[in-house]
């Protein structure tokens, strides 16, 4: 049984709400014409809609998201620099990739990491992928092994990579859920890398190519990434991220029937998410949740709260229906250090727990003197009877 702190909740969590006619009805997600799809909130990871989200499917150029993620990590960790010059090998030569997307790099030429990176993200260049794979890992096979290591670290349990670009390979597959996970990691862990996904065109060697993510031009949504993919086997796929009123959503549609279809199905998901859900900060780090009795200390009360912001995704209009409870691991006894975990906060909606967070001490409490400890011992004994 959780200990209820209703009065505190009503004054702390909901005093900022000004909603008078709350939208509380949330319809079922729209039907999505794709082999697999998922819609998540980036900040909380909450799944808002999904279908066949764990099915392993050919990724096509969605593969380049992992290649890009590794490039971003390598730059952040100082192992490569955007200004590094890469000599293009015969393996990476554009002529090796007829009838597929490429940056049009030439064998023997030197190209900067910065240009190759944009060639991967904006132009979807298969040639640029091979050049960067060789630059980072020495060979495509070694780079594929690195891709799989990162995939495992990210928890992409239904994905496997065999090359850096996404051209068909029976040993290469991903799931919609895993691609949402990867997109979220790109946004959070490599922000400078992710910024490139918003660029609408890139010119190299006097050849201007436009970003294939047509939702970047859609004025009804604030889309700032991320990647398209297509092969005959994979169909048309799209990973998208957009922001509205502080809420960032990530949608993934895989295996649609056309370029237009992947755009339409992605918009369905994003519009549904923004229309019916919001992401809010229920508590801020360091905010006092409750003042609670502590025994044997130099103070009778200790402030308890949250060490990190409590951010949740919930249906629009239901913020005022949130309730909060807490549960202590045991009775509080001095000494206690600031930041010590002493229990759990439970957020509830409609009587159901929707999230839980550690409850910590916001201040230290030292042991009281012998007289204070003796008095508290007596009081505690009487309170237990």
Domains in the chain: ranges and CATH:
3-18+284-384 (2.60.410.10), 36-278 (3.40.710.10)
pLDDT value at position 123? Answer: 97
pLDDT tens digits for range 180-211: 999 999 999 999 999 999 999 999 999 999 99
Tell me the CA end-to-end span of the chain in Å, nearest whole number: 21
Annotated catalytic residue: which of 124, 159, 164, 175?
124
pLDDT tens digits for range 322-377: 888 999 999 888 898 999 999 999 999 888 888 899 999 999 988 877 776 667 56
Which residues does the annotation place in the binding site for substrate?
227
- Residue predicted with more confidence, 325 or 156: 156
Question: Would you place residue 14 in the very low, low, confident or very high pLDDT band (cuts 50, 70, 90)?
Answer: very low
Closest CA to 172 of 162, 182, 157: 162
Annotated catalytic residue: which of 35, 64, 73, 118?
64
- Residue predicted with more confidence, 175 or 325: 175
pLDDT value at position 334? Answer: 84
Judged against a pLDDT cut of 90, whether residue 94 lies above it is answered with: no
Does 61 participate in catalysis according to the annotation? yes
- Average pLDDT of the residues in 87-111: 91
Does 64 participate in catalysis according to the annotation? yes
Which residues does the annotation place in the binding site?
227
Q: Burial code of 303-339, b = ≥16 C-beta within 10 A, e = fewer?
A: bbbbbeebebbbbbbbbeebbbbbeeeeebebebeee
pLDDT value at position 317? Answer: 86
Tell me, rounded to whole angstroms, the distance of Cα 264 from its chain centroid: 23
Q: What pTM was computed for the model?
A: 0.87
């Amino acid at each position: 049984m959780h200990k209820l702190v209703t009065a505190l909740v009503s004054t702390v969590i909901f005093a900022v709400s000004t909603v008078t006619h709350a939208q509380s009805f949330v319809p079922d997600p729209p039907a999505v014409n794709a082999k697999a799809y998922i819609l998540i909130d980036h900040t909380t990871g909450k799944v808002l809609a999904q279908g066949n989200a764990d099915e392993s499917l050919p990724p096509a150029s969605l593969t380049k998201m992992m290649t890009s993620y590794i490039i971003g990590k390598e730059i952040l960790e100082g192992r490569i620099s955007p200004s590094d010059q890469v000599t293009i090998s015969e393996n990476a030569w554009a002529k090796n990739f007829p009838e597929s997307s490429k940056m049009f790099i030439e064998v023997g030429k030197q190209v900067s990491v910065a240009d190759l990176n944009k060639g991967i993200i904006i132009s979807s260049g298969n040639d640029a992928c091979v050049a960067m794979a060789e630059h980072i890992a020495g060979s495509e096979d070694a780079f594929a092994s690195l891709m799989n290591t990162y995939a495992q670290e990210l928890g992409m349990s239904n994905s496997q990579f065999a090359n850096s670009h996404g051209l068909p390979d029976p040993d290469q597959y991903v799931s919609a859920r895993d691609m949402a996970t990867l997109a979220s990691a790109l946004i959070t862990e490599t922000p400078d890398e992710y910024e490139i996904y918003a660029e609408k065109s890139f010119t190299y060697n006097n050849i201007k190519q436009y970003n294939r993510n047509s939702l970047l031009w859609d004025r009804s949504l604030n889309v700032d990434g991320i990647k398209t993919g297509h092969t005959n086997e994979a169909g048309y796929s799209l990973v998208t991220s957009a922001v509205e009123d502080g809420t960032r959503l990530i949608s993934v549609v895989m295996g649609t029937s056309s370029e237009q279809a992947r755009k339409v199905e992605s918009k369905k998901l994003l519009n549904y998410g923004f229309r019916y859900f919001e992401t809010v900060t229920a508590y801020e780090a360091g905010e006092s949740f409750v003042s609670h009795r502590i025994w044997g200390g130099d103070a009778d009360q200790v402030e308890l709260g949250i060490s990190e912001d409590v951010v949740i995704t919930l249906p629009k209009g239901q913020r005022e229906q949130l309730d909060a409870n807490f549960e202590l691991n045991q009775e509080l006894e001095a000494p206690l250090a600031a930041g010590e975990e002493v229990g759990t906060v439970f957020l509830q909606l409609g009587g159901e727990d929707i999230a839980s967070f550690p409850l910590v001490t916001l201040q230290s409490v030292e042991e009281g003197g012998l007289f204070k400890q003796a008095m508290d011992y007596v009081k505690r004994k009487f309170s237990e009877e």
